[in-house]
Structure 1
Amino acid sequence: MPDLLILIAIMFVDPFGFSNSTDERSKDVFYQVTSPFYPDTARDNIAVILIDDASLDTEFFDWPPSFDQYDTLLSSVATYAPKAVFFDLLFLDPRGQEDDLEFFADNIRAIRDFKDTPVFAMGAASIHAGTAECFSESISVLPQIGDAVTDLPFFRFSGYGNDYPMYTMCNGRTLLSPAAELLKAVCSLDSNGSELDGPCPDATLSNVQQITKTIPDAISIRWGEATAPINQRLYPASFDGEGSDCVPPSDKFIEKLLRSASYFIGAFSERLRPDISENCIYHPHMSAFDLIVRAQQASHVATADKAEQANASRKILEDFLNNKVVLIGLDVAGVRDTVISPVQGTVPGVMAHAMALDNALVLGSDLQHAAPVLFWEADGTDAIEIAGLLVLTLLRWRLASNAIASSNSKPDSKRSYVRFALMALGCVAFFFALIAATFFILRWSPINWIGLIGLGWAYIAFCYSTTMQRPNADGYVHE
């Protein structure tokens, strides 16, 4: 019992920060290991446009961009009939000429009303987990934008850790995140009442009440590994600009299995961790500058050369934008809008919305989420971890029994150690099977398996070193 209480204190009171660091590492590695097998059925239905440093170095964009420049970008996108458009931006103050804001708002209305393309922008609501509190920022979105867009999903949240909130209910309202708003738009019906073509897992998810009934309020985002094929056509260089090719990894099962194994081995040593930063990010992506240049090229038909270039650019943009959910975000140095992907490393913040939407389209109601709370602050994964610690103390008791038997020169002491080793391996196999079951069947977030393995290794090794036989003047004795 004292040993068990000490282990529980190390894991849950966490006086040394051991549990906190290994908990996040456990999730990251688990998502790395499973990333080669993440389904890519929704990947090519989502496109990301980045207003990046390369865009700001051109004549097309200022910093901050004016509404005239946003209008040009939106018009270039809308030409190719996207399924929905989302600006991962807060429009708080007017920029550029006086009429630019009105023209931009009118363009949003035209796209929304006449082309049946919903347009979303970041809203002003903030939410806080664990409370019923929600409020609007003192600086609100420009009313011209608020009136023009289809809706304003909430833009700021706290209390969810590294999870992504899909919706929250407070003050009698249901607030949706960007991913949930886009999911609702993707699953909407057209004017004839028939289902739209696309990857929607269930047409009823176009209803807010059905979303809150079907999917969890917060999800643990799974990240895909294989970059979209169109990225290789768009950019021969990688997203980080270092000149490496955007080559999708092999789709063969054995290759996927080997990559999963290498990610697992890398969990225990950074030196053994495979380099996965050379691949492009998961979803199709394009610089805003590149998109506008291609849109201008697509409009040229004056000469044979121009016509050939126009057709090539038009084909790229149709493949990139047509019937796709388009997210527009920032990738600008000095702007703190990034997230850490366990697979691709640091990526622009808009990628979290894209990946959360991808999860919802691929997994439907089977999204990964936190385990249910059982008592106080302990949830299902905590219960599994406590059970693992209990097994460790039982194994330690068995190890001590074997050592005492050995010191008393009982004939089957060696067999006892073999049985102990087999029992320990059986426990490890059982817990890995249990972890897999909670992840793939119950869809819980991964437990702190690295912490359990590390703590168990150190604990059993220490117990073994203190219970083995040691020589002295009278022969071998147990200490």
Structure 2
Amino acid sequence: MLPKFLIRGIFYVLVGWYALWINPFGIYDKSDLATQDAVYRLIAPFYDSAARDNILVILLTEDAIRDLYDWQVIAANEWPIRYADHGYLLGRIMAFKPRAVFVDVYFRQERSTDDSFRRMQAVLERFSKHYPVSLYFAGNFPGMSNSPIQKRLMEVGTLTINGWDGFGRAYPLKIGDAFTSAYLLYREACLGSEPYYSCHKKRLHEVSVKSGHALSIYWGSREPRPLFPEYRHRQTPCIGSEGVGWTLWGMARNLWHGLLGNMAETRERCVYHQTLFANELIGILKQGSPQQKTRLKKVIQDRIVFYGVALDGLHDVVSTPVHGQLPGIYLHAMALDNLISLGGNYIHASDDFIEYLSMGLWAGLALTFAWSVCRLEQRAPETYAKSAKTNPCAVSFEMLRHPVRWLRESSRSHPKTTLFLLGSLVVVLICGMLFVVLHYEPVNSVAFIGLLGTIALVRDSRLETAFVERFQCLQKWVRKVFGFRRRVDVRDDGESEL
């Protein structure tokens, strides 16, 4: 017969596995996202990489389109702008010789109302001949065939996988045999003949990236230095933040608002990467001073440029734990930043290893909890611990005089509470080790702590008692059946075992 504490442990294990594996009502997934958001929000002020000095985001907004139309630079006064307008802007960017340009505009089918696609293609071909700039275009989902205009784009650049399913908030690096946008740009940044100085010494080579490997994006919250303070966009009134004191203050503020449930108060208004709006780019080219034009050249030259749009009607946004919703172009920029600054030590998204580890971790915690509670309950607490209710002042005095003894006796008096706290500490330490040492995204520690609290509450409950009784009956039945078969077994020599 199995001991009673082991039967209870089996009950606790099954309860946890049901919550972790079956995931009723999606509770586990929601707590998993909540854990990741909370951790990333707390540590966001500590992310400060040199890689963002190699990255630039150029945005087309409604204000930018309106200004460019008023200046008679482009032909369209609203989205979508003409293909030739894209070609004009991209040509001006390529003239500053960036290392690579990623165009986060989805060209799938040629519009019947716009016959300027060949003009855009001709502009890109002409600039590609004069300037060694690698062009990457947002492509299809895996398995989709290329359209005619996408095939023409492949004559001047590279189409990348730019959509996927089944990865949640993680950013896949390779799907099937094809690499995604961020990794292709990482090759330009760190695996070429002239890698950036900001590249991590542990390179992430192609042979190390397997299909399905995904990056859990670590978002930063520090505002970059303004490129052109005189052109600062009126919708982003940001204030610079540097120094250890500001970093600690940001973490403390996020922790305080998180404990109060006011997470909206911790949303950062300022994006992590330097951003140049398309109207600012053209405005400096047309009317800027020589100093501004020189600065603009330094801003773009040899950088990886992300060209995208930020329009209310497109809904091309990404949800982040630090900033809330951002234009989708920043997802690619932040993923590239992580790869450059972390290299082979990038933060891995949860995979099968983490799933199996979670199951094993819970089994160990549950069995340890059941055994430890049984042992602590068998030990009688000291007299002064028993008198806590009748004479709390005396117990408080003893606590100050003998803190170690008080802790020992309190653990005997309140075994479930003690083990819940110790188990929670163990969970936090293990999750921290997985994040810091093994470079995995924050594991769902909230779910584990919640399960520890659940089994502490169901201890000696009717449900647990019923399970123990049924399990003991099952043991008796199994012993009876297999014991009977053993007694009637006849040996080969004709003699019975009895």
Q: TM-score range by the shorter chain?
A: 0.7 to 0.9
CA contact (8 A) 1:371 1:445 kept: yes
Q: Which amino acid aligns with 1:436?
A: G
SS for the counterpart of 1:275 is helix
Match of residue 283 from structure 1: 273
Given residue 430 of structure 2, which amino acid in structure 1 is its aligned partner? Answer: L
- For 2:477, the equivalent position in structure 1 comes to none
Q: Report if the CA contact (8 A) 1:11-1:19 is conserved.
A: yes
Write out per-residue CA displacement over residues 167-186 of structure 1, whole angstroms, 9 at most, x where no aligned residue: 122xxxx2111101111122
Output the amino acid matched with 1:146: M
Match of 1:477 in 2: none
User: Mean alpha-carbon deviation: is it higher for 322-331 or for 457-466?
Assistant: 457-466
Which deviations, in whole Å up to 9, do the C-alpha atoms of 1:5-39 show, x marking residues without a partner? 22332333222432121100111111112212223
Cα deviation for residue 313 of structure 1 reads 3.0
Tell me which of 296, 309, 314 is aligned to 2:293: 314
Which residue number corresponds to residue 152 of structure 2?
144
Q: Does residue 1:449 correspond to 2:445, yes or no?
A: yes
Determine the structure 2 residue equivalent to 1:250: 242
CA distance in 2, matches of 1:49, 1:326: 7
What's the counterpart of residue 348 of structure 1?
A: 327
* Identity within the alignment, %: 23
The structure with the largest alpha-carbon Rg is 2
What residue ranges of structure 2 are gaps of 5+ in the alignment? 1-9, 389-404, 463-498
After superposition, the C-alpha distances for 1:365-415 in whole angstroms (9 at most, x for unaligned) are 0111134525xx933344334444445545655675579999x97999984
Pick closer, same or farther for the CA change 1:114–1:394 going to 2, 3 Å.
Answer: farther
State the match for 1:110 in structure 2: 126
Partner SS for 1:152? strand
> 2:495 aligns to what?
none
Determine if the alignment matches structure 1 residue 211 to structure 2 residue 206.
yes
Looking at structure 2, the residues matched to 263 and 391 of structure 1 have their Cα atoms a distance apart, in angstroms, of 34
- Cα deviation 1:207-242 (Å, max 9, x = unaligned): xxx32425882111111110211268366557xx2x
Q: In 2, distance between residues paired with 1:42 and 1:414?
A: 49
SS state at 1:92 partner = coil
Quote the residue 1:7 is aligned against: 16
Within 5 A, what are the aligned runs for 1:406-417?
Answer: 415-417=408-410
Q: Which runs of 5+ in 1 are unaligned?
A: 128-133, 299-309, 467-479
* 1:176 lines up with 2:153 in the alignment: no
Note the C-alpha offset of 1:201: 3.4
1:420-435 matches, within 5 Å, as 420=415, 424-435=420-431
- Alignment correspondent of 1:227: 223
Distance 2:287 2:357 in 1: 56
In the other structure, the counterpart of 1:160 is: 167
**Is residue 277–residue 345 contact of structure 1 (8 Å, CA) maintained in 2?**
yes
Q: Distance in 2 between matches of 1:264 and 1:460?
A: 27
Which amino acid is the alignment partner of residue 42 of structure 2? V
Question: Partner letter of residue 311 of structure 1?
Answer: P
Cα shift at 1:453: 2.6
Pick aligned residue for 1:333 from 307, 312, 323: 312
Alignment deviations for residues 330-356 of structure 1 (CA, whole Å, 9 cap, x no partner): 211121211011111100111111111
On the 8 A contact 1:71/1:104 being kept in 2, the answer is yes
Q: Alignment partner for residue 93 of structure 2, among 60, 77, 82? A: 77
Q: Residue type of the partner of 2:154?
A: G
The amino acid across from 1:351 in the alignment is Y
Quote the Cα distance in structure 2 between the aligned partners of 1:325 and 1:75.
15
Judge which range, 48-57 or 378-387, deviates more.
378-387
2:40 maps to 1:31 = yes
Write the letter of the residue equivalent to 1:383.
G
Report the TM-score, using the length of structure 2 for normalisation: 0.75
Q: Map 1:17-56 onto structure 2 (within 5 A).
A: 17-56=26-65
Secondary structure at 2:164's aligned position in 1?
A: strand
Q: Which one-letter code corresponds to 2:248 in the other structure?
A: L
Cα displacement (A) at 1:63: 1.9
The answer to whether the 8 A contact 1:67-1:94 is kept is no
What amino acid does structure 2 have at the position aligned with 1:32?
A: R
| Residues 414-456 of structure 1: per-residue CA shift (max 9 Å, x gap) | 8432464665544433332221111111111211112223343
* 2:82 equivalent to 1:66: yes
What TM-score does the superposition give when structure 1 sets the normalisation length?
Answer: 0.78
Aligned match of 2:199: 200
Closer, same or farther in 2 for the Cα pair 1:402/1:65, shift >3 Å?
A: farther
Aligned residue identity for 2:19: I
Query: 29-38 or 384-393, which moves further after superposition?
Result: 384-393
Distance 1:443 1:197, change over 3 A: closer
Report the structure, 1 or 2, having the larger strand content: 1
The alignment partner of 2:452 has SS state of: helix
What amino acid does structure 2 have at the position aligned with 1:182?
L
Partner of 2:432: 436
- When structure 1 is superposed on structure 2, of 108-117 and 337-346 the one drifting more is 108-117
Name which of 339, 342, 346 aligns with 1:363. Answer: 342
Stretch deviating more after TM superposition (2-11 or 227-236): 227-236
CA 388–24 in structure 1, closer or farther in 2 if over 3 Å, else same: farther
One-letter identity of the residue aligned with 1:55? A
SS in 2 for 1:148: coil
Measure how far apart 1:153 and its partner are.
0.7
How big is the alpha-carbon RMSD for the aligned residues of Structure 1 and Structure 2? Answer: 3.5
Which residue does the alignment assign to 2:355?
378
* 3-state SS of 1:378 partner: helix
Match of 1:305 in 2: none
In structure 1, what is the Cα distance between the partners aligned to 2:376 and 2:291?
Answer: 71
Deviates more, 1:383-392 or 1:317-326: 383-392
Which residue of structure 2 aligns with residue 93 of structure 1?
Answer: 109
Cα shift at 1:143:
3.0
Counterpart CA distance in 2 for 1:453 and 1:16 is: 19
How has the CA–CA distance of structure 1 residues 404 and 341 changed in structure 2, closer, same or farther, with 3 Å as cutoff? same
| CA distance, structure 2, for counterparts of residue 449 and residue 232 of structure 1 | 43
